[in-house]
Amino acid sequence: MPGHPHCEDDEFVPLPFGAQIVPALGGPGASVQVVDTGLVDGRPVVISDGPYGPVRLWDLGSHRQIGPPLEGESGMSVRSLAFGHLDGRPVAVRGNVDLTIWELTGHGRTDRPAEPRYIRHNGMGSVYSVACGVLDGRSIAVTGAHDAMVRVWDLGRGTLIGGPLIAHESAVRAVAVDVLARRTIAVSGSEDNTVRVWDLASGTQRGRALTGHTKPVRAVAVGMLDGRPVAVSGSDDKTLRLWDLPTCEQIGPAMSGHEGEIRTVAFAAPDGVPIVISGSHDFTVRIWDARTGEQIGMPLRDGRTLGIESVAYSLLGGRPRVVAADGHGFARVWNLDAHRAMGDGSPTRYAAELPGAWTDPDTGDVYDLTGPLTDDEGEEWKYVDFDGFEPLVTDTDDPRLAWSIVAAHEQFGFSEIVTPGPSEPAFTRITAEECPSCGSESDPGEEISIDTALTGFLDCLRHDPAMTDERYEDMEDAVQSLRGSVGWYLEDGSKSPVTELPDHMWEFLSVWMPRSISSGGEEEEEEMAAIGEMVEHLAGWLRERGRLPADAAAEMADEGRKAARDLPAGKRAKRMLNDLIEDSPFAFHNLDPEEVLDDWMGNMSIAKTGNGALQFTEGYDDDPPQDMTLSVPANVAEQIGEGWTIWVRLVLTESDGWQFSQIGTVFT
């Protein structure tokens, strides 16, 4: 059975660290973004999902992973995950493009997890939120989607129950399920700033919309307060509001204290005391007294944690635990008994001693912590704590804002104090006879899926004598990007026939990858070139095995060659143009909103380049207010091809007319 990714099984014992139980769940190789809790085979578990999967089960007591990962189609960033039941058996339900359902019973006793089932949500708007419940004896999932609709699904039959529930005016970001007066209800929160309550049996809205939030509602939860069913909502306006569900009235004033958008909430009643748990992009989890609306104790904070994306509540041995997933791939577990005992203060350090040396169990890197800490940029750091698993350092005067020393080293470098460990090969070499794709006869006439083809392609790279570790990693990353693209655009994702790949190349190379490289990532240009090179080599590999006709393979290879040239150029263009706009007085972050008379956002095509200027004209969406000219250095103009399309934001001021304010995706 797999253990925690950062610890040897025989050394792994979770430890208290203030109110936290360490180490965190997840991390590199097991990234966590969303969590829920439940009971599987009689023990409390956490289910988690990462940005692109897979789903994992964790033992809440030991922090060990239970069984193998739960694989399934995942073509876009995962936004929701819920624990539910189907005919009395525990299941995990993921929502993104579709709903994916995994049976969990006995998962820790097998090396082969149950095959997932799918409920197709195609064409109905991407699923932003999912919650599970029971309606008239049937196990259900309730979803909120980009198309502003709430839907109810029969988990057993995989079918929609009734029609969509329509009233919201924008995307539904959160849903919860409860029972009110013996009738199953759903509560939904939307980007239209409202909360709504639905009677699921009749498919109608109960009462009026619950209003009061001034920005999108991204989190809702339900519970009982002194015998009455209530809902709590969290919003981008940084407040929480409590609602009486029978009357649809707000209870008390809004709960304020968070300094960032609230992304997740939970309702619980440890020892009979009703509490609200909230997580925010201010990096904190906060506990609130549901009766008084007052915050209980200090915020739950860890300097290694970025914005909180998901929280869940559970009991372990009858005592309360909170699990909080952050924006850095970890889920931290908090002991609410310890939190209550600490009151409103905390010591500046928890560890009795700070080790003078530490070895990273993942890489073997050895850190000498006996002297001053100075990063490769010349900044001084302080060694402030040790949680029993890793040292914590900070470059501020606040020890609560500490980093993992590994994360700090990756970001800023501590070359003078780190002795690198032995390097691990990126892949295991095999012979052609050992290759699953080459070592056995396959029928070229047999239809295979995209997933099977991509797996076979990577297998064959492992016996290529010219393949290096760096090259294999680039090819593997490129294949993963292609998996993501087909999962998003093709109806059956990576299970689609491999013959659909050539027709999909335009979406992958002209839309998916430009959006990916323009989203702020740090991918090197060599890695961008590897995307196109992978496509070219994959086309040849498929043609040689009779999986693609020669003309289709040739066209696909040609697109790959062009992408190997254009994708790195697009990344350079994005970076250079963005730097130009960043320094402009009209840049989004430099401009006083009161000076803006109007703005326009959309795609504009470059009609002509040269002479140190780019001419922007209308794109393929709404017409811009006018053609625009942007003066750029000659080396920037040389990087941009005529006919490229670039997303821009224009602003109109009284003194300067229309000006560029923001540069987005570069479509080559």
Average pLDDT over residues 7-31: 80
**What mean pLDDT comes out for the span 499-504?**
92
What class has domain 9-342?
mainly beta
Q: Is the pLDDT of residue 10 over 50?
A: no
Where does the pLDDT of residue 77 fall: very low under 50, low under 70, confident under 90, or very high at 90 and above?
low
Res 519 pLDDT > 70? no
Sign of CA pseudo-dihedral 49, 50, 51, 54: negative
Which one has a higher pLDDT value, 568 or 501? 501
DSSP 647: E
pLDDT at 667: 77
Q: How confident is the model at residue 4 (pLDDT cuts 50, 70, 90)?
A: very low
- Confidence (pTM): 0.73
Q: How far is CA 447 from CA 73, 247, 444, 451, 480, in A?
A: 19, 58, 8, 12, 22
* Residue 188 φ then ψ, to 5°: -130, 145
| More confident of the two residues 304 and 385 | 385
Q: Where are the beta strands (DSSP E) in 362-489?
A: 366-368, 373-374, 380-386, 391-394, 403-404, 418-419
**Span 568-595, average pLDDT:** 78
Indicate the CATH number for domain 584-667. Answer: 2.40.50
Using pLDDT thresholds of 50, 70 and 90, give the confidence band for residue 8.
very low
Tell me the mean pLDDT in the region 400-405. 86
SS3 category, 619: coil
Confidence band, pLDDT 50/70/90 cuts, at residue 72? confident
Domain-by-domain residue ranges, the chain?
9-342, 367-419, 450-578, 584-667
pLDDT, tens digit, 9 for 90 and up, residues 122-157: 655 688 999 999 999 999 999 999 899 999 999 999
Q: How confident is the model at residue 523 (pLDDT cuts 50, 70, 90)?
A: low
Query: 625-665 pLDDT, tens per residue?
Result: 778 887 777 777 777 777 788 888 888 888 888 888 887 77
Rounded Cα gap, residues 184 and 152, in angstroms: 11
In the structure, what pLDDT confidence band is assigned to residue 7 with cuts at 50, 70 and 90? very low
> What integer pLDDT is reported at residue 520 of this predicted model?
47
Residue 398 has a pLDDT of: 81
Task: Give tens-digit pLDDT for 587-618.
Answer: 877 777 778 888 888 888 887 666 767 787 87
- Which range (109-113, 330-334, 443-447) has the least confidence? 443-447
In the structure, what pLDDT confidence band is assigned to residue 480 with cuts at 50, 70 and 90? confident
The answer to whether 126 and 80 have CB atoms below 8 angstroms apart is no
- Mean pLDDT in residue range 387-411: 89
Residue 633 CA to residue 636 CA, distance in Å, equals: 5
Instruction: Please tell me whether residue 70 adopts helix, strand or coil conformation.
Output: strand
pLDDT of 337 strictly over 90? yes
| Mean pLDDT lowest among 121-130, 382-391, 520-529 | 520-529
- DSSP-derived pairing of the beta strands 138-145 and 149-154: antiparallel
